[in-house]
Amino acid sequence: MPNADRLLQGQCRGGSPDPVAGQERRRQPVGVPEAPGASGRARARPARARAVPAYGRDDLRCPGGSAAADDRNGAGASRGLPVNYLLDVNVLVAWGWSDHVAHEQTAKWIAATTKHRDSRLFTSPIPELGFVRVSVQRTAGRVTVRAAAGALAGMLHSLGAHHAFLPDDQSADRFPEWCFQASRTTDAHLLELAEAHGARLATLDERIPGAFLVPGLPE
């Protein structure tokens, strides 16, 4: 499976120039075109050496353990146990932005999960919209909505048959007992959506009961 950076950069070279000017380079997401300079032409940002790793790397290893433990630590897929995950907003952001503190760990987990041909990584409208929103916000608008959406499309395309879009078919009248604050409603909804389709909600948030926490995150 190809490197997501390469796919995204190819997409950027063929895309439309970004109409928003900006000089900041440090917080540019993987493969998103930079703002045009005086010439008015958009330039593709060179790939970073530590950005989303190529899939199928030989040095990716998952810990051993029981089947139940495998399901918790993400090793199930690599040990012959197909597992499906719905990717939370924070997972998409960490994977797509190479300056994110959890980028490398998230990218390695995605690579390990996609080694199993029957495992699937789902996205749904809320996480996808969240990625676009956060990507624009964290650059103060230097990355446009269209550019962020294009970067996400390239990331998901790099997953090939391992990615599937999950339509949000859950109503807003079912919440677990732990959800009693407005700020937790989206987390609870995504958890319900994942479970309704036989998947786990993969997240970086330790506060979601029943969700799968991406392993190897920095303390």
Give mean pLDDT, residues 117-128: 94
Domain boundaries, given as residue ranges, for the chain: 82-219
Q: Is pLDDT of 116 > 80?
A: yes
Q: Is pLDDT of 1 > 80?
A: no
Q: Is pLDDT of 28 > 60?
A: no
The DSSP letter of residue 46 is: P
pTM for the whole structure: 0.66
The C-alpha atoms of residue 63 and residue 74 are separated, in whole angstroms, by 9
Q: Give the pair of three-digit tokens for residue 157.
A: 């395309």
Q: Is pLDDT of 194 > 60?
A: yes
The C-alpha atoms of residue 109 and residue 106 are separated, in whole angstroms, by 5
Give mean pLDDT, residues 144-152: 97
pLDDT of residue 216: 83
Q: Is pLDDT of 90 > 60?
A: yes
pLDDT of residue 6: 41
Q: Please provide the distance, in angstroms rounded to a whole number, between the alpha carbons at the two ends of the chain.
A: 30
pLDDT of residue 176: 59
Report how far apart, in Å, the C-alpha atoms of 133 and of each of 31, 56, 112, 141, 147 are. 17, 30, 27, 10, 11
pLDDT of residue 148: 97
Pick the CATH number of 82-219 from 3.40.50.1010, 3.30.300.30, 1.10.357.10, 3.40.50.150: 3.40.50.1010
The C-alpha atoms of residue 109 and residue 214 are separated, in whole angstroms, by 7
State how far Cα 169 lies from the chain centre: 21
The C-alpha atoms of residue 63 and residue 40 are separated, in whole angstroms, by 50
Give mean pLDDT, residues 44-58: 33
* DSSP element (H, E) containing 7: helix 4-13
